[in-house]
Amino acid sequence: MAAVHATAAAATRFISVDVRQGGIAVVTLAKEPVNSMDLAAWQLLDQTLTRLEADTSINAVIFASGLKRDVFSAGNDLLELYAPKTTAARYAEFWIAQNAFLVRLHRSRLVTVAAIRGACPAGGCAISLCSDFRFMTPSGSMGLNEVQLGIPVPKFWGLLMGRVIGSKAAEDMLLSGRMASAEEAKQLGLVDGVVSAEQLLPTALAAAERACKQPPAARAATKLLLREEFCQAWEAFYPSEPEFGWRFLSDERTIAVLKGAMARLSSKAPGKQPVAKL
């Protein structure tokens, strides 16, 4: 079928939706250079998913990167987190938009798949953890690396990782802020498979097709039973997080760490692997 593009004019710049046979929508995020997630990006993802869920002909959604580099998403745009360049009000709006999308994704009636090409830190990792299936290329890496930037891991992001790989393994990763290689991610259960870049989308499509063969109403209802209590607790909690988070972001020590991270990013030579953002 022909590509169905996001309705907002801004969305056509970096988000596209291609509906494949069987009602499988491939959502491609191509916000060069590293799919950094600002307020607009999270809002557009939420609008896109909302529209797909409302379309009864859509049964599954695959999230993929359309970047030139091997990066799924380098996570949140540091300008949304660097206190001298933002405000507490803007940060609260950003944080709520981000988590509203993630909760929607985690409880979605759709079969959801993350096709992870390359680096997948923090916000990219959160998108992947909220999906039903995750596949990664051999060069990929994945994790919630907030601690390395002087910021606490968001509570329900960390809890979700614990639900996926177990609390002990999750704490080991979260407290150090380290990233797992593709092979380790497979061993931990962070991803369901490691495949070549050429086979990434076909593998994701095949997984979606298999899942879609199950009676959709029963599958969606079971998924909701397993996840709804967690999602409701998440929804009740995340509106209170911005005040807590802003105290860290406005601390001089955190500002210094983020300033250094932005300096490293801006000094990266063209063609090199970007430093993970957040």
Residue 277, domain member (yes or no): no
Which own/partner pairs from 241-248 qualify as long-range (CB within 8 Å, at least 24 positions apart)? 241/95, 241/99, 241/154, 241/155, 242/88, 242/91, 242/92, 242/95, 242/96, 243/88, 243/92, 244/152, 245/91, 245/95, 245/151, 245/152, 245/154, 246/83, 246/88, 246/91, 246/92, 248/150, 248/151, 248/152
CA proximity to 77, closest of 47, 113, 121, 46: 121
Cα–chain center distance at 90? 20
**How many folded domains does the chain comprise?**
1
Residue 179, domain member (yes or no): yes
Res. 72 pLDDT band, cuts 50 70 90 = very high
Q: What is the pLDDT of residues 84-139, one digit of tens each?
A: 999 999 999 999 999 999 999 999 999 999 999 999 999 999 999 999 999 999 99
Residue 86, domain member (yes or no): yes
Residue 272 predicted with pLDDT over 50: no
Res. 12 pLDDT band, cuts 50 70 90 = low
Residue 171 predicted with pLDDT over 70: yes
Q: If you average pLDDT over residues 145-152, what whole number do you get? A: 90
Q: Which structural domain, as residue segments, surrounds residue 191?
A: 3-266
Residue 154, domain member (yes or no): yes
> Are residues 137 and 118 in contact, defined by beta-carbon separation less than 8 angstroms?
yes
Residue that the structure tokens 């210094």 belong to? 256
Q: Quick one: pLDDT at residue 49?
A: 97
Residue 69, domain member (yes or no): yes
Residue 52, domain member (yes or no): yes
Cα–chain center distance at 42? 10
Residue 261, domain member (yes or no): yes
Q: What is the pLDDT of residues 190-240, one digit of tens each?
A: 999 999 999 999 999 999 999 999 999 999 999 999 999 999 999 999 999
**What percent of the chain has a predicted confidence (pLDDT) above 90?**
86
Q: Tell me the CATH number at 257.
A: 3.90.226.10
Residue 37, domain member (yes or no): yes
